[in-house]
Structure 1
Amino acid sequence: MKTTVFIAMIAATSIIVAGGSAYARGDRHGAPVDFETLDTDGDGKITLEEMQARGAARIAKVDTDGDGFLTLPEIEAEASARAKQVASRMLDRLDADDDGRLSAEELERPGRADRRFRRADQDGDGAVTKAEFEAAIAKMQDRRRGGGWAE
């Protein structure tokens, strides 16, 4: 139950985001959003109203009963659909031997763990302290938030 609620919260947050940075990076739940998609009136400019309309349309898609509110079952259904899409893409991308299953070797890209460890081990002593670990997590979170418009 806790996992379902957590996934639902993540989905709701991503659905409701209507800020510029989400649009600059693209629609994470479908095709990248291009300028023309957001410029609904074709005047060569994107207004705040056009961006808000995009967000409202995404919310309306999840609001399956059309009452103007997102309920837990609606959010869970959207989260489940997205999770299935992510899982399918992951399997397609990583299943090197096309057997429909992912082995530990297929999941771990060569050198990925080594790179992560070296990044976290800031002083290069071969061990990661709690401070280095927390700094690495903060840096990763900053990177995930970055890449969009300044807000």
Structure 2
Amino acid sequence: MKRALIISTTLATGFALLAGTAMAHQSGGQMGGKGMRGGMMAPFEDIDADGDGKITQAEIDAHRAAKFAEADTDGDGALSAEELAAAAEKREAERRANMGQRMLDRLDANKDGKITADEMPGNDADRAKSMIERLDTDGDGAVSQAELDAAKQMRGPRGEGKGERGFGKKSH
């Protein structure tokens, strides 16, 4: 039973590793972004080996074979649980690096390649002032725990009845 579970898990993970290319081909060229469940897709250019702007079945097969060979680190023609885990870790590291670069591109207002505290989201003084004004029901210029708790109650379960940013309006 345990062996069957390991084999089926290994096969399922292997198919998931290789399915991205086929899904990318079926997406009508919408690659390089997110798949049906948010998974990474191979960029179009990576599959279009001859650079002619078209993906053929031969290019898909070659790309798939190359990805399999890359994951098959011991070269035995099969993917072990360790090889699948290593391939998944590599994809996750690449995803995180890409996410970090996109965040830097989006937040780095002065384009110096670094994000300062002033460039971080939520550092907007007007926004903070607006939040305090919305939540400060007694008008003392500050938000108490009781005021915060009351605002959370007004949100209701799962954000029902929420106003701007989920606070400040009662549900009807």
Interval of TM-score (by shorter of Structure 1 and Structure 2): 0.3 to 0.5
Of the two, which has the highest radius of gyration? 2
- TM-score, normalisation: structure 1: 0.44
- TM-score, normalisation: structure 2: 0.40
